[in-house]
Structure 1
Amino acid sequence: MEKKKVLLVDGMALLFRAFYATAVSNQFMYNEAGVPTNGVQGFVKHLLTAIDEHQSDYVGVCWDLGGGTFRNEMWGEYKAHRSAPPAELIPQFDYAKEIADALGFVNISCQGYEADDCLGTLADHYRHEGVHTTIVTGDKDILQLVDTDTDVWILQKGYGNYKKYDPITFVNEWEIQPKQLIDLKAFMGDTADGYPGVKGIGEKTATTLIKTYGDVKTVIDHVTELPKGQMTKIQTDLEMLKMSLQLAEIHIKVPITVNLADLFYRGFSEDSLGICDYYGLKVVRRELAKLLA
């Protein structure tokens, strides 16, 4: 029997991508209330496009929340140096969730955790129910979740363009297993997330170490076998390496429960057009009108 399919999307990734794609030319598309809608409308268009491509049975939207996460408690510099979002984007964070809810989608988040953690937790939960999960995001960190029950689609430029990963395509490109992406990031660090890993070890060296030893722990156990330069770098930044390993791993035990039935995708109706009119979403209304036709 064919498995049920659930589509989980990183709402913040879709919203940011849509916003910056149009903000570069100042296409903010304000509604009658004076709220910019460029990001929100692009977010919904991305969502509709992914649903059409995936032919989803069930759909959920995961979000980051403000106020920091457990990673900030572990490492104070975690994402600390990211610039503040543009003024035109700020009101669209809550607006996007409100509109997603009005259109019948379930918004999923948990204080103290990132959207990635929610995505990972749900994918892990649904696999035990015999469900296949596809995750749509712009963040390659989520690729560590790829397995026989979980595909990841990375957004590319435009709508409906994805780089699709399953275990085979991942290994062919990265030359390591998906779970080893955690170890790779631990060595390399992540400048966007604000942790350095091991200074002086880049992707090429880190990949070689992982292919040779398997994981960070085994490299540490055999550190004296390494060339002197690599050994010194790892020993110097040993504590940061261990910390980075924890920061890089997606947490799959977030205290959330979302029954699969709650995510059932019911499609759209004429009422959806009224919702678009209410929120001033002219672009989305045109897309939905095409679907309903």
Structure 2
Amino acid sequence: MEQKPTLMLVDGMALLFRAFFATAVTGQFMINSKGVPTNGIHGFVKHFLTAVSSFKPTHVAVCWDMGSKTFRTEIFQDYKANRSEAPVELIPQFDLVKEVVEAFNVPNIGLAGYEADDCIGTIAKNMDGDLNISILTGDRDILQLLDERVSVILLQKGYGNYLVHTPETFYEEKGISPNQMIDLKALMGDPSDNYPGVKGIGEKTALKLVQQFEHVEGIVSNLDQLTKSQKAKIEQDLEMLYLSRQLAEIKCDVPIEYSLEEAILNYKHDHVLNKFQELEFKGLHKMLQTEKEYA
């Protein structure tokens, strides 16, 4: 039986940040002779090539955040306001890493006003054709996109360690379906994205309510069945509950352009090697695919 084509959607920021901070703690910024730090890009490439050789996708695209202002900051100005400015050593790596992705002949996708997750969601949910989709990230928020053809590869510590989620494994872990994660986060909020949900409702209670009433609407229309304290908390924070749900939901209708054909994984060795040399990378060339020589 012929293998279905697989599109791997990569959360570029998640890989770059993870790679940068893994070495930044010890001050290893890998500054090259031009004075440019390259530690994040170096680690990004290592994550990227390790995942490609582990999962062997036929198609790959990398999605990016495009600045910190998005439709979410417009509806809630404190969204992600707890994040500090990017470290000065990381700033020049944002554009350079995209050049490296281009050298692999892989599309960079992103749109101002939206997050990488929204671009990933849009492609994952609207891509025509009979193909499997895997999403490579370190961010659990993306698990809401899981379905029968979308799996999520979560990066674990180090390189080459993954936790692969399907709707079944997610249900085993949480006892809810992937899209109910949006309602879960609406109730409990998300400290890393800096929105509160309903004050005083933690994950345990939120899970119980979502399991019992399915979604935010179900909970709100059955407030009389809740305990007195749960009811009071939700009534008091009703507006924030709905707002948090809006913030938690990945948008799957972002007006981006993408094509499956452009995402075919097919890179020229020399292009990539030239880029590696320009950045003064050592050792990474050994990770390039040799079993399948590209034209």
Which residue in the other structure is 1:26 paired with?
Answer: 27
CA contact (8 A) 2:106 2:262 kept: no
Cα distance in structure 1, aligned partners of 2:90 and 2:156: 21
Q: Is 90-99 or 265-274 further displaced after alignment?
A: 265-274
Q: Is 270-279 or 75-84 further displaced after alignment?
A: 270-279
Task: State the Cα distance separating 1:103 from its structure 2 match.
Answer: 2.4
Which residue in the other structure is 1:270 paired with?
Answer: 270
Cα distance in structure 2, aligned partners of 1:271 and 1:89: 24
**In the alignment, does 2:145 pair up with 1:145?**
yes
Which residue in the other structure is 1:123 paired with?
Answer: 124
5+ unaligned residues in a row in structure 1: which ranges?
Answer: none
Task: State the Cα distance separating 1:290 from its structure 2 match.
Answer: 7.2
Which residue in the other structure is 1:52 paired with?
Answer: 53
Task: State the Cα distance separating 1:67 from its structure 2 match.
Answer: 4.5
Paired residue type of 1:197: G
Which residue in the other structure is 1:42 paired with?
Answer: 43
Which residue in the other structure is 1:206 paired with?
Answer: 206
Task: State the Cα distance separating 1:25 from its structure 2 match.
Answer: 1.0
Which residue in the other structure is 1:185 paired with?
Answer: 185
Cα distance in structure 1, aligned partners of 2:136 and 2:143: 11
Cα distance in structure 2, aligned partners of 1:79 and 1:262: 33
CA contact (8 A) 2:103 2:267 kept: no
Cα distance in structure 1, aligned partners of 2:271 and 2:100: 13
Task: State the Cα distance separating 1:289 from its structure 2 match.
Answer: 8.2
CA contact (8 A) 1:10 1:62 kept: yes
What do residues 233-277 of structure 1 show as CA deviations (whole Å, max 9, x unaligned)? 000000000000110000000001211000000144234222210
CA contact (8 A) 1:29 1:37 kept: yes
CA contact (8 A) 1:41 1:283 kept: no
CA contact (8 A) 2:134 2:151 kept: yes
What do residues 39-96 of structure 1 show as CA deviations (whole Å, max 9, x unaligned)? 0000011011111111110000000011410001111111112111211111111111
Which residue in the other structure is 1:237 paired with?
Answer: 237
Cα distance in structure 1, aligned partners of 2:292 and 2:268: 7
Q: In structure 2, the residue corresponding to 1:14 is in which secondary structure? A: helix
Cα distance in structure 2, aligned partners of 1:24 and 1:100: 25
Which residue in the other structure is 1:168 paired with?
Answer: 168
Cα distance in structure 2, aligned partners of 1:200 and 1:283: 51
Which residue in the other structure is 1:113 paired with?
Answer: 114
**In the alignment, does 2:282 pair up with 1:282?**
yes
Among all aligned residue pairs of Structure 1 and Structure 2, give the percentage whose two residues are the same amino acid.
50
Q: In structure 2, the residue corresponding to 1:122 is in which secondary structure? A: helix
Distance 1:42 1:88, change over 3 A: same
Q: TM-score of the superposition, structure 2-length normalised?
A: 0.95
Paired residue type of 1:164: V
Which residue in the other structure is 1:261 paired with?
Answer: 261
Which residue in the other structure is 1:85 paired with?
Answer: 86
What do residues 86-120 of structure 1 show as CA deviations (whole Å, max 9, x unaligned)? 11111111111111112211100011100000000
Cα distance in structure 2, aligned partners of 1:239 and 1:123: 30
Which residue in the other structure is 1:197 paired with?
Answer: 197
CA contact (8 A) 1:50 1:160 kept: yes
Cα distance in structure 2, aligned partners of 1:191 and 1:239: 18
What do residues 196-231 of structure 1 show as CA deviations (whole Å, max 9, x unaligned)? 000110000000000100001110000121100000
What do residues 169-191 of structure 1 show as CA deviations (whole Å, max 9, x unaligned)? 11001110000000000001011
Paired residue type of 2:284: V
Q: In structure 2, the residue corresponding to 1:282 is in which secondary structure? A: coil
Cα distance in structure 2, aligned partners of 1:291 and 1:95: 28
CA contact (8 A) 2:104 2:267 kept: no
CA contact (8 A) 2:182 2:245 kept: yes
Q: In structure 1, the residue corresponding to 2:288 is in which secondary structure? A: helix
CA contact (8 A) 2:103 2:271 kept: no
Cα distance in structure 2, aligned partners of 1:40 and 1:30: 11
